[in-house]
Amino acid sequence: MCGRYAASVQTDRLIEIFGTEGGPRRDPEPEATGPTDWTRSRWNIAPTDVVPSILERQRDGQVVRRLEGLRWGLVPSWSTSAATGARMINARLETVTTKPSFKRAFAARRCLLPADGYYEWYPATAAGRAYKQPFYIHPHEGLMAMAGIYEFWRDPRHGPDDGWLVSCAIITTAASDDLGRIHDRMPVQVAPDDWDAWLDPALTDSGKARQLVHVPLPGEMTAHAVSTRVNRVGNDGPDLVVPIAEAS
């Protein structure tokens, strides 16, 4: 799974990279519990945080690409509570086209979730004490465009025009051999040449959309151990991704 990640690229640079129109936009999030200042650099993003996302929507008869803040943890439109999102931070590529919670979003509401890299934990022992060692996993260079889906949910306690929550999930698959020793799952990505097709709301053929995802090949990503400070959600800063050997 992917349960924590870093996204430090400034919004003006994201606008340039992904070719979005206008500045950051955020829809109302009545149930958001994590940090809502999603436009700042962060190195310890956790479930229920509002995260930067690239998506395309019909506005005034035209398809517009936007940089928006979505809450991480997908809440299906039919859910009775936004709390279900905390358990739906990831969608498995193997079942995303068939699982009721995700299949409608995958067919029509796909997004890109920019990231520097993500964290996974591996069981370890030191001085006779068992603990989980965090690893930071990232491309050798450049930005990750993680494949995501998003959904609209309305809080029934609000009126028909209020209380809307827009949430997202990261699509994951089996980890490549070199990363599987740390964790058996990893996020899938979308290559730049496929961004337009992936984001296109007119592409509703799930089979064709599934062909657009990129599963990183062995050697495409790299990993190194980092401080256990990342275990605490309240900790943040670029020091969290520094290799232990360099930080000591």
Q: Which CATH number covers residue 189?
A: 3.90.1680.10
**Does residue 29 sit within a domain?**
yes
**Does residue 235 sit within a domain?**
no
31 is annotated as an active-site residue: no
Among 2, 31, 56, 151, the active-site one is: 2
Please compute the mean of the pLDDT values over residues 182-210 and round it to a whole number: 96
Overall size of the chain counted in residues: 248
120 is annotated as an active-site residue: yes
pLDDT recorded at residue 97: 96
**Does residue 248 sit within a domain?**
no
| Band of residue 181 on the pLDDT scale cut at 50, 70, 90 | confident
Among 31, 56, 68, 120, the active-site one is: 120
| Band of residue 246 on the pLDDT scale cut at 50, 70, 90 | low
Q: Which of 67, 23, 72, 24 is nearest to 50 (CA)?
A: 72
Residue 191 phi/psi, 5-degree rounding, is -70, 150
Q: Which domain holds residue 55?
A: 5-121+141-220
- C-beta atoms surrounding 189 within 10 Å: 22
Residue 26, pLDDT > 60, answer no
| Band of residue 163 on the pLDDT scale cut at 50, 70, 90 | confident
Highest mean pLDDT among 83-97, 121-135, 227-241: 227-241
Please compute the mean of the pLDDT values over residues 111-122 and round it to a whole number: 97
pLDDT recorded at residue 81: 83
Quote the number of domains for the chain.
Answer: 1
Cβ(207)–Cβ(63) below 8 Å: no
**Does residue 163 sit within a domain?**
yes
pLDDT recorded at residue 23: 62
Distances (CA, A) of 210 to 6, 149, 169, 248: 25, 12, 15, 43
